[in-house]
Amino acid sequence: MPTVNAVIALGANLGDRQAALQGALDGLRSTPGIEVIAISSVYETDPVGGPEQPDYANAVIRVRSALSARELLDRAHELESDWDRTRQERWGPRTLDIDIIDVGGQVSDDPMLTLPHPRAHERGFVIVPWLEIEPEAVLSGHGPISALAIDASGVRGSGEGMSIR
């Protein structure tokens, strides 16, 4: 089965954020057809949009995947459910958030999975960790991620020494 490289953003701002990010990584690693090939540092980030809420812990990973984009999304939703993710409020606080950012440069306007992620090019909490692991990356429709004009003021290296491996 052919494989593609995919970029996945991980975030959490409720409960044990470190454990949630590590759980997401471990869950993806244990999925047949997915090989984790790069993991960013964990960043402390200000929430963007939504209600007042705690800061997030965010990371970005690159995987080589034999799954379709939709199968990858379904697996992400399973892992979010494992961490008791609820979807009560748009951009509300989350125990775990897994966003599919890019899947082999595919472009799709499917309402269930828009590719590339429709706001990735604006989000410092996605671009900063992605630059760390793939500085030469190109985001379809937006060009090199290193050339994107993003506001990274709310993105900080983790003060808790958090990392996932």
What structural domains does the chain harbor?
Answer: 4-157 (3.30.70.560)
pLDDT at 144: 96
Catalytic residues: 85, 94, 97, 99
Start-to-end C-alpha separation, the chain:
27
pLDDT at 61: 97
Predicted model pTM: 0.91
Name the nearest CA neighbour of 140 among 125, 113, 120. 120
Q: Using one digit for the tens of pLDDT, what is the confidence trace for 39-63?
A: 999 999 988 877 788 999 999 999 9
